[in-house]
Amino acid sequence: MFEKHKVFKAPEDENLEIWRYMDFTKFVSIISKKTLFFTRADQLDDKFEGSLSKHILDPSIEEKATQEQRLQLNKTRERLSSFYKSQRKEIAINCWHMNEYESAAMWKLYLKSDEGIAIQSTYRKLVDSFDNSDDYHLWVGMVNYIDYNKKHIPPDNMLYPYIFKRKSFEHEHELRAVITKNISAKDYPNQIVIGGKNLLFLPKKGVEIPVNLDVLIEKIYVSPTCEKWFEELVRSMVDKSELRKKVKKSSLADDPMF
């Protein structure tokens, strides 16, 4: 399932720690189903997800274009815009936060209550945790943060828009796994549409992808502000799932020296 791809760049250190922050219900879903949920691109909060930037070409090249060339660029931009907007229904994404340490900001950003959980893994563990199913192509890489008004996203590969985000999201330090259906080139012309339904479109909300949790999970943390009963509940759930992983309270709950 996992494939290397020129568009998706791995961290220099493949053992770099990555984090996924979630509420209790999402954690229970992961350990009970042994899956990770990939959200369809058009269902993510960022409306720019999967979009090209303002410039099709390098801005310095566009500035020198003639009027006729600008008209052609605008026509090309319209065609690409329509294509990439539709393509978001064919792509699903699972996001992780890259950081050597826990992030207080991420705890606050992704949790709606004190009852939160963080799974800590690494890039290498993530890519090794997926099974060998041929149903999907799956790639993993770091997100690049750019100014969409000043930089361009290469249009020569349809996957490029999924490893770029606006500068406003730079605090996320995101590593993402991306999937799309695997339809062989020889079958593609005959299978893309049957009965008016595009077979490449993923379910509206997204897809659950099987993972080996023993490989994926390095540590499990409960939020720094959770009650003792919640910490014990999470430990109980982990024990029942037969995961041989430690559950720790966030180090952000430690007391200062004075």
Higher pLDDT, 147 or 200: 147
Mean pLDDT, to the nearest integer, of 159-177?
A: 96
* pLDDT above 90 as % of the chain: 64
Mean pLDDT, to the nearest integer, of 211-221?
A: 97
What pLDDT score was predicted for residue 75?
84
Asked whether the predicted pLDDT for residue 200 surpasses 60, the reply is yes
Check if the beta carbon of residue 191 is closer than 8 Å to that of residue 182: no
Q: What are the Cα distances from residue 12, in Å, to 20, 123, 128, 156, 210?
A: 20, 10, 17, 25, 26
What pLDDT score was predicted for residue 196?
41
What pLDDT score was predicted for residue 197?
43
What pLDDT score was predicted for residue 130?
95
What pLDDT score was predicted for residue 59?
80
Asked whether the predicted pLDDT for residue 241 surpasses 60, the reply is yes
- CA angle centred on 188, ends 183 and 191, rounded to 5°: 90
Q: Which residues contact 187 (CB under 8 A, 6 or more apart)?
A: none
Rounded Cα distance, 244 and 242, in Å = 6
What pLDDT score was predicted for residue 191?
37
What pLDDT score was predicted for residue 194?
35
What pLDDT score was predicted for residue 199?
54
Across the chain, what does the average pLDDT equal?
Answer: 89
Q: Which two tokens stand for residue 100?
A: 């050597």
What pLDDT score was predicted for residue 127?
97
Asked whether the predicted pLDDT for residue 190 surpasses 60, the reply is no
pLDDT tens-digit series, residues 9-50: 999 999 999 999 999 999 999 999 999 999 999 999 999 999
Rounded Cα distance, 181 and 136, in Å = 4
What pLDDT score was predicted for residue 111?
81
Mean pLDDT, to the nearest integer, of 188-205?
A: 57
